[in-house]
Chains A and B, each alone.
Chain A
Amino acid sequence: MLKIIIPTVMLIPLTWLSKSNMLWINSTMYSLMISMTCLPLMNQFCDNSLNLSMLFFSDSLSTPLLMLTTWLLPLMIIASQHHMPKEPPTRKKLYITMMILLQIFLIMTFSATELIMFYILFEATLVPTLIMITRWGGQTERLNAGIYFLFYTLAGSLPLLVALIYTQTTLGSLNLLLAQYWIDSSTHIWGDSLLWLAYMMAFMVKMPLYGLHLWLPKAHVEAPIAGSMVLAAILLKLGGYGMLRITMMLSPTINFMAYPFMMLSLWGMVMTSSICLRQTDLKSLIAYSSVSHMALVIMAILIQSPWSFMGATALMIAHGLTSSLLFCLANSNYERTHSRTMILARGLQMILPLMAAWWLLASLTNLALPPSINLIGELFVTVSMFSWSNFSIILLGINIIITALYTLYMLIMTQRGKYTYHIHNIKPSFTRENTLMSLHLVPLLLLMISPKIILGTTY
């Protein structure tokens, strides 16, 4: 794992010592090369033996997330190039350094063996993200957004720290490779429920669960594009990854503790999808759709069946790529009209046809069109939810319909119809933007061919 971490750390001197005109090129190119070094990890053995050291390991759950993380850094750097040209070089380098620092913490988080190290790095990812949102966001609401983001996550995760230390003192070690052998089926006391809650609330806030999701629209909307991309694609998945790792230690308390969260997720999924239909702010629409997709992941993890774990993992990767792609598309609108209001940039198909193709593909994957991996995720989750409880199909079906509704609403609003008269003098699409969109879509479409690498541990 050091062969990925050390080059990422060395990207920081690369950023600070580059000449100003080579800054973006250098960082993009080298971060792309680092993502290539992550690919050989995909060769997973079925006995989970890819244990690289005492500190780092990578199994078939963490490898796709690692791959997504390393793939996203060059994309974030490409996306940030446009709104930074007037800043002094020091500030540009600081911005890229924040992204690289976040990347280092994320790589170490996904490959951590020891749960306390996972916790420390999980918290550590908050600091660069907070700095990116607050320092480089656009509007005054970003201050509030940063505070909500920081404090919701911290208030959820401090009980997690206490719970982890308690488990370490009672069980002896928190090494993840050993934890899978400790399923405890003895009689349970009510304190076990509190322990379960302490473990799960941190990840529930991060996912986010419907009742605790207030930070997400604020943070996503106010963040600059790189911040939005990394928030939507990776940081939400940290919650899902944590839950997937920890639930193997927590059964069977989960059987009865899961019900309130299942209800919140089922209802919240439908609610947030419905809210999307009434949004005027494009980024806010995509943020609420993230909440809705992640509610599916929460439900899948809570019912703990092999199919649902496969669906959760596939959905996480697919949603990461799709959501990040949608944010990039929304940002390309924002850079032209300097407004996030959807109706100010309508009828773009006439003016930017290639961008309309990317919008179409992004919308199609967002509404889980077969045979994309989004569909695989949602389908596995729906099927396993049906076997858990027959009635949930009603709400899941309603959610799928409303997802299709708001995605098509977004597509038709921005692309079709008559364009507004103030939009005819926007700049045409840059090659950089087309590269960005295609780099998002190519993994998404190629994974259709062999989705088994993203199906996680229970494949």
Chain B
Amino acid sequence: MKKAAYSFPEEVLEHVFSFIVSDKDRSSISLVCKSWYEIERWCRRKVFVGNCYAVSPPILIKRFPELRSVTLKGKPHFADFNLVPEGWGGFACPWIRAMAGAYPWLEEIRLKRMVVSDESLEIIAKSFRNFKVLVLSSCEGFTTEGLAAIAANCRNLRELDLRESEVEDLSGRWLSDFPDSYTSLESLNISCLGNEVNLLALERLVSRCPNLKTLRLNRAVPLDRLPNLLRGAPQLAELGTGAYTSEMRPDVFSNLAEAFAGCKQLKTLSGFWDVLPSYLPAVNPICSQLISLNLSYATVQSPDLIKLVSLCEKLQKLWVLDYIEDDGLEVLAASCKDLRELRVFPSDPFGLEPNVALTEQGLVSVSEGCPKLQSVLYFCRQMSNAALNTIARNRPNLTRFRLCIIEPRSPDYLTLQPLDDGFGAIVEHCKDLRRLSLSGLLTDRVFEYIGTYGKKLEMLSVAFAGDSDLGLHHVLSGCDNLRKLEIRDCPFGDKALLANAAKLETMRSLWMSSCSVSFGACKVLGQKMPRLNVEVMDESGPPDSRPESSPVEKLYVYRTVAGPRLDMPGFVWTMDDDSALRIS
């Protein structure tokens, strides 16, 4: 009956907790009892905030006083496709300011889809003495001046990754701001920068950092400088080339091939802008060791792609343009038995007629030939229920399936029926499916399948689909693990939304644009659910200047413990629980 026999000293518990790394598990630990909550929050070092508006800097800092690593995500996913207007939000500054004061020993900041200013970068550069990792993924709002501050001040920087960010490129000189004494770089990704960087500074930087494992150059780095860079870093594991073209000279080619051959640990290749096909074979010496290949900018035709891909027997991840065509995918299926992820992007997405011989058959071949295939992103112009059925049966181990049939509402091209059954087969057979994107002609039936079978589904993207509220209702009531739902141009409205209001608190967020949700329903939702932020976006003026029954342009609903946000631009209104419209 003595409690003492059953309680461990704090230090022991802390030590035990240090082995628990996943966020979910740490959350579970903190719910066991008050003392565990306390111990856990003091020793938590890493936090992931999936929606920066779900919580606020003071709340985060109050609960976790000793963080070393913070990840924040800002804008909704559809911002990637220009559906979120400029100025919407996702500002990193308040977070960075707060963290600068609270976490002097912060080492890692990872931001996705946030607006980051040069001022914020300067604060980072000056506030964290042991700063090691900066990842800005799909961010915007900063210039090369901000990067110069990071380069000049972060003596312990290991990783600087600007993947897919929009950077105002004022000058390539910022790279020279890394002091000569700086040698700790392990990963550098500048592939998004538009202008030339100082190549001499780059070469010197690369050759003096012995732990450099990842180097992703931008398009402006010419091919004839690549061999020198590679020779300066033979330990490279991941390389993104610059422009892959040059005057065709035999010495350039052999120089390049030799340099590639010298990189015995190179496993990942990307870049390949402006590819001159005759230079592709320069990578042949290392094909057999490649596990990841991103050729999605390489405008080369199928035969050249086939020659390359057929040599990559260990390939696990391939991103490629639809130039690869069905033939190329067949070769892929035959050669790359370890393939886990395939993404095929369209070379001519706005053309009316197909420009390449890529159909559903390519995907079917890969699903047949690659037993480990888990993740698919596929753009094509025709699909059939039969093909989807075959894919589903071939690959029940799929976890991510994103299909984009380019023309909205395309039916099964063989039967002219909706593709409900095909996608139904996918959710039925792929029991571990976590992410699904739909396209083509779809009725409410596909959502019935999804609600019935998509029990592990966490993220669903829907466009131009469905007939009625039933569709939305099936998904919200059936998908037990749904976290993110994004919908555009579907006839879903008030009934399903209000009937499933409680469900929305179990999800991270819901996006609905160009649907049939009325302003009145948004107000009701906001009133009913105080722990949700119900944000209405309308660029044509305040929604209350129109009848309550008129549909809102865009709706973004997310759970939060921080209350309505205070940084909304003029075209965003939050539906308060006191039902007063706050007009910013």
Whether A and B are associated in the same complex: the answer reads no
Q: Which residues of B contact A (CB under 8 A)?
A: none
